[in-house]
Chain A
Amino acid sequence: MKVLKKTFFITAIFSIPFFITTILFAQLPAFLIPPAEFKAFDTPNDAGETVSLTWSASPSDAPDVFYILYIDRDKDGAFEKEAMRIKSNTSYRTGAPEIYGYKKGNGNYHYVQLFPRKIFNGETIDKKQVYYFKLAIAAGDSKIILDTIASARAQGNWLHMKKANNFAILIILSAIILYFIVHARRNPNMFLRKIGGLDAVDEALGRATEMGKPVLFVHGLTSMGSISTIAAISILGRIARKIADYDANLKVVNNDPIVMSVSQEVVKESYLEAGRPDAYNPDNVFLVASEQFPYVAAVGGIMTRERPAANFFVGYFYAEALILAETGATTGAIQIAGTDAYTQLPFFITTCDYTLIGEELYAASAYLSREPMLMGTLRAQDVGKGLLILVLILGTILASFGLTFITHLFEAF
């Protein structure tokens, strides 16, 4: 025990001077150690408005020690204009990965950007003006100014090198998309997996025929310009064709006159293909209302009055989706929905027997129409998704083993 006490005292006594020096170092500005290096350069990848300054960190960096930057337009000037004042324990190179990346030593250097034109607010400055800088380290009343004068000119850059990754992706995606569209034109029998929902469509139509009740096709609210409506039209074509074969009754409700006339054409053509043009009745493809809630009310009325055996909701739907599908479900109809309106999908999934989710709608339409543009785009997007999956898997594995280059390769600046 005694030994222990003794050692404690001895250590305590010896550490007193150490404490005192630390306190003195922290308080006395005489001990300020100025940074060794100080450089200025044009900020890369910018519009030519800023210059960058960097200097090595000093051992005296602390929250109450400041760096002051002085700017002058003349090398032999007085350097009286203060351009910036920062706390000396802030603004390291680590804050600027767009210039210094993720090197280990970045924490040993300070880095700031200055906007000289703003500092000389209102003064006319030549475009090619070279700016001169001096650095000072200050704490309390004392200040040490470095002798080094750093200079730089703010220049506009013609290429943003850090966006090269973005540009590469742009080029790769463009190439893939172009390739597959051209490819699909030459080879229209490209493989597409079967879309589950399309079998369900046939099944529903079969049942409707057995029951001898009509089939109702409900368009979404968007006009002919949207991909959802275009997809809905090609699915309608398929349904109409089957209906003509089965000799059942199809009703198509619309809220847009252009969508209505296109639908009429498509249904007519399908009946023609089936060899039964006589069975086509244009009055079965009709406009019920043009606004959201009147549309809902009118379609709901048709459902409760005519009690169709199958309801199809295909296209882009808004809040009305829920009311439509609910009314249909209470009449006991088989319901099939297809929409890329993700906010409405939950309601279709819980009230319909089968739902085409999001991009499945486009795939179904490409599958049915075999249109090269749709097929090619679909395939190109598949390849894009495959590449993303690859990057995700590889990147995570490499990052987990400490190799972060792939992570930095996909960084957006």
Chain B
Amino acid sequence: MRKDSGFFILVGAMGLFVSINIFLMTSGKLPFSFDGFGIILGAGLTLAIYSFLYKDNAAFKIVENLYVGVSLGYTIIITWFNFLKPDLYDPLIIPMFSKAATKSPQYALIIPSLLGLFMLLRFSRRLSWLSRWTFAFVVGLGAGVSIPRVISAFILEQIKPSLHPVFSGGETIFSSINTLLIMLGVISVLIYFIFSVEHKGAIGKVSKIGIWFLMISFGASFGYTVMGRLSLLIGRIQFLLKDWLGILQ
């Protein structure tokens, strides 16, 4: 009995969706073109994902997997057109094998290409150790490049605005208090995350203040996250009402 009801809901929903689209097409609200069908497909996929809210079902899973597949395909194709072709195929491969090429091949590109190919050997059983060379290169380089830049951009630049006079001329008392509060907040949060000292006495009190600052900032993140997720929903409903059904102008 329960299985039947699920089946009827599915058939009913599909029937409704098809008849709405037939109406939209025949009344001319949607163009009889590739784009028109595209919008119908998009609306169908959107609704299929929302069916998850009723309950986890096959339509949702199909769309999710289809999405994974299409975006995978898109990534591969875009990587070819935007990266492999302009960066390796055109400057290295073509001049090497085509006599018509005007420019000489950039042989230096062979090194990173080899390292890149080594990385793919990760899936081979016998040669996977070669992939470690590439990982070592990439990870070592990343570490070396980032240390001084992190010091400069996230430590020096971030403590600089705090190293300013609290009471300088021309500022209101309110802004001085804010400067002090920011100072207190930064220090107390840092102390909260210090683990080699027992949080007792004065340090315990400051670390408690740190928790309050953290909680207020998590509250801000909470509010913003709610706003963000809702925005996505609003955008999708705008798509359904505007582009598909044509109710909104």
Contacts and interface: CB of A to CB of B under 8 A. Distances in A.
- Say whether A associates with B: yes
Given A386-B194, A392-B183, 6 more contacts: A166-B152, A193-B199, A301-B56, A342-B221, A399-B164, A401-B165
Interface in B34-62: 52, 56, 61
Contacts of A379: 196
Interface in A275-297: 291, 293-294, 297
A385 B163 contact: no
Interface in B179-228: 183, 186-187, 190-191, 193-199, 214-215, 218-219, 221-222, 225
Interface string A101-132: 00000000000000000000000000000000
Contact of B163 (A167, A349, A395): A395
Interface of A is mostly: helix
Contacts of B166: 396, 399-400
Contacts of A347: 222, 225
* In the complex, the 5 A-B pairs of residues with the closest C-beta atoms, listed nearest first: A395-B163, A346-B222, A412-B156, A407-B163, A346-B218
A291 B68 contact: yes
A334 interface: no
B87 interface: no
A291 B64 contact: yes
Interface in A377-413: 378-379, 382, 385-386, 388-389, 391-393, 395-396, 399-402, 406-407, 410-412
A391 to B, nearest CB: 6
Contacts of B164: 396, 399, 407
Contacts of A392: 159, 162-163, 183, 186-187
Contacts, number: 116
B3 interface: no
Given A193-B197, A193-B199, A407 B222 contact: no
Contacts of A297: 52, 56
A359 B193 contact: yes
Interface of A: 163, 165-167, 169-170, 173, 190-193, 195, 291, 293-294, 297, 301, 342-343, 345-347, 349-350, 357-360, 363, 366, 378-379, 382, 385-386, 388-389, 391-393, 395-396, 399-402, 406-407, 410-412
B111 interface: no
A349 B215 contact: yes
A294 B61 CA distance: 8
Contact of B191 (A169, A360, A389): A389
B138 to A, nearest CB: 13
29 contacts: A166-B148, A166-B151, A167-B148, A169-B151, A169-B155, A195-B195, A346-B218, A346-B222, A347-B222, A360-B193, A366-B195, A378-B196, A382-B195, A386-B194, A392-B183, A393-B187, A395-B159, A395-B162, A396-B166, A396-B183, A399-B163, A399-B165, A400-B167, A401-B165, A407-B164, A410-B163, A411-B156, A412-B157, A412-B160
A324 B242 CA distance: 33
Contact of B221 (A294, A346, A359, A382): A346
A389 B187 contact: yes
